[in-house]
Amino acid sequence: MKKISINTEFTVFENIQEIPQKTQELLELAIAIRKKAYAPYSNFRVGAALLLDNGKVVLGSNQENAAYPSGLCAERVAIFQAGALYPEAIIKMIVITAASDQNTTTTPIPPCGACRQSIAEYEIRQNTDIEIYFTGETGDIYKSDSLKNLLPLLFNKNML
Ligand code: THU
């Protein structure tokens, strides 16, 4: 018997001014699309902005449904849209922001497990790491250099 430990690493920025200029622009776009999320059931709005290597930006917000599981998270709305519109492009960066209509989110809000698995699929497909930034409405902004920090021991095609 033995134990293993797996380290993951994040960079923590204290405010929007600390992050690179291009990422700031993406965060502003993610905030704008977040505000237009369709979230009448949870009142929790999420926005995602993807930067592709062809310079295109693809946006997404969460889309809810009266049959709750039929809704979809912002990250997957955006990444599936990117996969559909630009199947040849490499996703360089994803910027995520989340806010509640009921209270102020002050901690970084990471992508849910299903979104992590979906992002992993694209990172593996393109064989290039995706930078992931995530934040709440205020407070720190976390950056991961790869999805792998968010989902160690991920299930992937090599296991099929
Ligand atoms: N949500 C996202 O859009 N992304 C996540 O990673 C976590 C959750 C959405 C789904 C649902 O519309 C609302 O937030 C509350 O769970």
CATH number of the domain where residue 154 is located: 3.40.140.10
pLDDT value of position 131: 98
Tell me if 5 is assigned to some domain.
Answer: no
Structural domain for 98, as ranges: 11-159
pLDDT digits (tens, 9 = 90+) for 142-151: 999 999 999 9
Q: Best substitution site from 34, 65, 112, 134 to test ligand 1's pocket, by max atoms within 8 Å of Cβ? A: 112
117: Cβ below 6 Å to ligand 1? no
Tell me if 3 is assigned to some domain.
Answer: no
Quickly list DSSP for the chain.
Answer: ----------EEESSGGGS-HHHHHHHHHHHHHHTT-B-TTT-EEEEEEEEETTS-EEEEE-B--SSGGG-B-HHHHHHHHHHHH-TTPPEEEEEEEEEESSS---S--PPPHHHHHHHHHHHHHHTS--EEEEE-SSS-EEEESSGGGTSTT---GGG-
pLDDT digits (tens, 9 = 90+) for 85-129: 999 999 999 999 999 999 999 999 999 999 999 999 999 999 999
Å from CA of 93 to ligand 1 middle: 19
The whole-number average pLDDT for the span 60-83 is: 98
Domains of the chain: total: 1
Q: Look up the pTM and report it.
A: 0.96
Check 75, 123, 131, 137 and give the catalytic one: 75
Tell me if 17 is assigned to some domain.
Answer: yes
